[in-house]
Chain A
Amino acid sequence: MRFSAFISGPVAARPAGTHHDIVISSRVRLARNVKAHPFPGWARKADRLAVLEVVKPAVEALPQMEDAFSEYLQDLSATEKQILVERHLISREHAAKSGGSAVVMNREQTLSIMINEEDHLRMQAIQPGFQLKTVFKSIDEVDTRLEEKLDYAFSEKLGYLTACLTNVGTGMRASAMLHLPALVLDDKVNQVIQAVNKIGLAVRGLYGEGSEAMGNLFQISNQTTLGEREEDILGRLNKVIEQIIEHELNARAALLQRKTVTLLDQVGRAFGILRHAHSITSKEALNLLSFIRLGIDLGSFPTGHRQQIDDLFTETQPAHLQRTSPTKLQAEDRDALRAETIRRKLADLPAPEPPRAAS
């Protein structure tokens, strides 16, 4: 499959009907290594290629990868790699790789397997909505199948052996992308982040480690991988996410009651700017789209516009804009194209109505 065909398949090809007001997506990744080969960061090129030639065919032969897009990293352009990063299909670290690395993804873009990232295998499942257990199950099945063909580096005492000590054991990192505009508006999000950090979970920005929180989006994930079963880690994460959802809903209800004007103002301004701007940065766009999304949740806009807004979160990212243009875009060209894309997409979005009481 060609990259253009793969990527033009709508993100909406991902299973529908799993919308969640607050949890945008759920993701689980497993780190695995093949026995008797140095880890990619320390391996010589010949070693990395040897692993690649064993692992890539094994991954491509998976029944889950029947209609897959499979490519060596050196055969993807910088823009193509960045598009995959913006869709959370590969990591930023993987995008920086070229010779000796590859990626295999299914047509629905729910499964993505990075070969020779920090570990020989980084496999992830991602789906919209709040469904960590379903997502875990799908990547667990991939892992079980692969294990029939590959001899993993595994120790009875320490579990799956990984390049970094922080992944050893289950090799599992589960995360959910949360949309928390009310907690941000109410200045409570830092309290939540601190509380979550204290119990050994990590909170990060849109693109993971070291990235900025934009669009009121926060990624929450487990930090420990050894000494707990996968189910227990997921259970712990689920419980905490449920509590954060509760806090966000309370904050929304409180804002509606106490700060109705502030709330209406934010949603109204977001609508005005997005509908009429002719140049807009990625960060501003995300922050404003966040308030439109909140407006939909609160009943200010018809729910039929949900998918449009969710798609814009991805389509206004730099590489996605570059994809639509034949020439190399400079930052200001991109900002203009971004504004145009948003205006076009939101042309039929009616003006906001006063929000209903939060459910």
Chain B
Amino acid sequence: MVCDACQTNPATVYLTQIVEGKMQKVNLCDLCAKAKKVLDPTGFQLADLLLGLGVNTELEKPQVETAPAPVEVAMLKCPACGFTQADFKKTQRMGCSECYETFADSIMAPLRSNHKGSEHIGKLPARQFRRVEAQRRMGALQSDLAKAVKQEDYEGAAQIRDAIRQLESQLNAPRAA
């Protein structure tokens, strides 16, 4: 078996990691393993736990490869604020709330290792959610209305229209004091 990184020397270091439930295997020769500091347990653990972002991808897709994928990962940049993966590694912070979408794949591992769970079950900002809920309900009512009209169920359609009007007045009501 040859080294995944340099593709020339025989591999002597076999690394298996479970990342987000998926097994990843990397085979490296002595030189490449040293160069990537895989043999230094403290360095590796730190990178994995704290830097999280991109570390695994780097190992999986060595730089020597000419495939376009690694370039894409390295260049991953938030369209909203211009923050890059490299910036994250440097600052350990996100650039803006959109970054959570942009880097969604890479933040799950650090989130899991730092918290009790990976889903929020606490407080919701009520107003924002009232609106989201109301908008969802509005969409559902409107398709119900279209269905009722199509089926010539005018009594049902009238009821639905009343419900829509009521919801509209709620949505347009001034924000609570």
| Chain A residues within 8 Å of B, Cβ to Cβ | 33, 35-39, 41-42, 118, 140, 143-144, 147-149, 151-166, 168-170, 172, 200, 223-230
Contact = CB atoms under 8 A, between A and B. Distances in A.
B92 A38 contact: no
Given A39-B94, A147-B127, A165 B119 contact: no
A44 to B, nearest CB: 10
A35 B96 CA distance: 9
Interface string B66-102: 0000000000000011010001000111111100100
B122 A170 contact: yes
B110 interface: yes
Contact of B81 (A38, A147, A158, A159): A38
A223 B114 CA distance: 8
Nearest to B88: A165
B1 interface: no
**Which 4 A-B pairs give the minimum distances between C-beta atoms?**
A227-B117, A159-B120, A153-B97, A226-B115
B81 A228 contact: no
A153 B83 CA distance: 17
B121 A227 contact: yes
A170 B123 CA distance: 7
Contacts of B93: 39, 41-42, 118, 163-164
A39 B95 contact: yes
Contacts of A157: 119-120
A158 B100 contact: yes
B111 interface: yes
Interface of B: 80-81, 83, 87, 91-97, 100, 107, 110-111, 114-128, 175-177
B120 A42 contact: no
A227 B175 contact: no
Contacts of B100: 155, 158, 161, 168
Contact of A228 (B110, B121, B124, B125): B121
16 contacts: A36-B97, A38-B81, A38-B95, A39-B95, A153-B96, A155-B120, A158-B100, A159-B122, A162-B94, A163-B93, A168-B120, A169-B122, A226-B114, A227-B116, A227-B117, A229-B121
Contacts of A230: 122-123
Nearest to A225: B115
A37 B116 contact: no
Contact of B115 (A144, A172, A227, A229): A227
A165 B97 CA distance: 11
A118 B111 CA distance: 18
Given A36-B97, A169-B115, A224-B116, 15 more contacts: A38-B81, A39-B94, A39-B97, A147-B127, A148-B177, A151-B128, A158-B111, A163-B93, A163-B94, A165-B92, A172-B122, A224-B114, A226-B115, A227-B115, A230-B123
A160 B9 CA distance: 48
Contacts of B94: 39, 42, 161-165
Contacts of A36: 80, 96-97
Contacts of A151: 128
B117 A161 contact: no
Contacts of B115: 168-169, 224-227
A148 B127 contact: yes
